[in-house]
Amino acid sequence: MPDADLAHADRLSHDAALLAQTVRDAGALGLSMFRTELKMWTKGGSSPVSEADIAVNDLIEARLHGATPDYGWLSEESADDESRLGRHLTWIIDPIDGTRGYLAGREDWCVSVALVEGGRPLLAAVFAPSTDEFFFAVRGQGATRNGLPIRATRGTALDFPRIAGPKPLVERLARPLQDIALYPRIGSLALRLCWAGSGKLDAAFAGGQSRDWDLAAADLIVHEANGRMTALSGEPLLYNRREVTHGLLVAAGADRHAYIVEQFRNRQL
């Protein structure tokens, strides 16, 4: 192996190990503060934040940014530093995805972190400590849940109780006048998408206004589990751009994803 390739492989291995341990420790910190009395406030008028979000963000930043100061940084709980746009590699972080559920004492929250290269995720970790689910992926090397390989479900059938997402959006796939029941609401978008990659769900949808930090890690996990996650148009998602907001999207196994995208195209929705 050429020296440059060997150095790249060594750096990737180092970053993967650093990411896995950091996200595990961040999840443990979040869990230690879960269902305790926390200071909380809102940002942007309606988005809740707590001292747990900030504490977890600070831990991740100290570990990842401290070890890789030449990488860019984009986190929901940090001021945006646009120098990230010129970096070859950028960490994208949601310290606690599903803060509303976290503050309500529900278990559907997680820590979500990705390392992005060229607009697409290279490494990903999503950890839901309340349910002890640790998802991990390296580009081209598959995805795992708690160390075991995962695969998105096969086929094209639409079994609505195994589909999660905004009901008005998913109902566009139903027959006229069909009353559908979906999988119960999942507060963490990253976790919802990972469940589509692991086979717990057949498909997961997201409404508009999701951000890079909600999506980047789950995106790689779904793709490495032989799934697809794109905009409803079928266009791939790109990360670490100036605009970090995304529109409607779907994640599912490759065949089901293609079928869903085609259905939306045919209906011009």
Last residue of a domain, one of 114, 149, 184: 149
Q: Does residue 41 form part of some domain?
A: yes
**What distance in Å separates the CA atoms of residue 243 and residue 90, rounded to the nearest whole number?**
15
Residue with tokens 């991740």: 60
Last residue of a domain, one of 91, 115, 149: 149
User: 129 and 169 share a domain?
Assistant: no
User: 26 and 116 share a domain?
Assistant: yes
Q: Does residue 154 form part of some domain?
A: no
* pLDDT tens column, 155-180: 999 999 999 999 999 999 998 878 89
Q: Does residue 72 form part of some domain?
A: yes
User: 170 and 250 share a domain?
Assistant: yes
Please determine, for residue 3, whether its predicted confidence score (pLDDT) is greater than 80: no
pLDDT at 112: 98
* pLDDT tens column, 121-144: 999 999 999 999 999 999 999 999
Q: Does residue 155 form part of some domain?
A: no
User: 139 and 177 share a domain?
Assistant: no
C-beta of residue 135 within 8 angstroms of C-beta of residue 124 = yes
Helix runs in 43-165, H state only: 51-60, 66-67, 99-104
Domain CATH number, residue 7: 3.30.540.10
Q: Does residue 203 form part of some domain?
A: yes
Domain CATH number, residue 192: 3.40.190.80
**Whole-prediction pTM:** 0.95
| Residue 193 burial class via C-beta count within 10 angstroms: exposed 0-12, middle 13-18, buried 19 and up | buried
Helix runs in the chain, H state only: 3-33, 51-60, 66-67, 99-104, 167-170, 189-198, 212-224, 254-266
User: 21 and 111 share a domain?
Assistant: yes
User: 16 and 138 share a domain?
Assistant: yes
User: 140 and 168 share a domain?
Assistant: no
* pLDDT tens column, 66-117: 999 999 999 999 999 999 999 999 999 999 999 999 999 999 999 999 999 9
User: 30 and 104 share a domain?
Assistant: yes
User: 15 and 109 share a domain?
Assistant: yes
Structural domain boundaries, residue 124? 3-149
User: 23 and 127 share a domain?
Assistant: yes
* Domain count along the chain: 2
User: 65 and 119 share a domain?
Assistant: yes
Exposure string (b/e) for 96-129, b if CB count within 10 Å is 16 or more? bbbbebbbeebbbbbbbbbbbbeebbbbbbbbbb
User: 115 and 214 share a domain?
Assistant: no
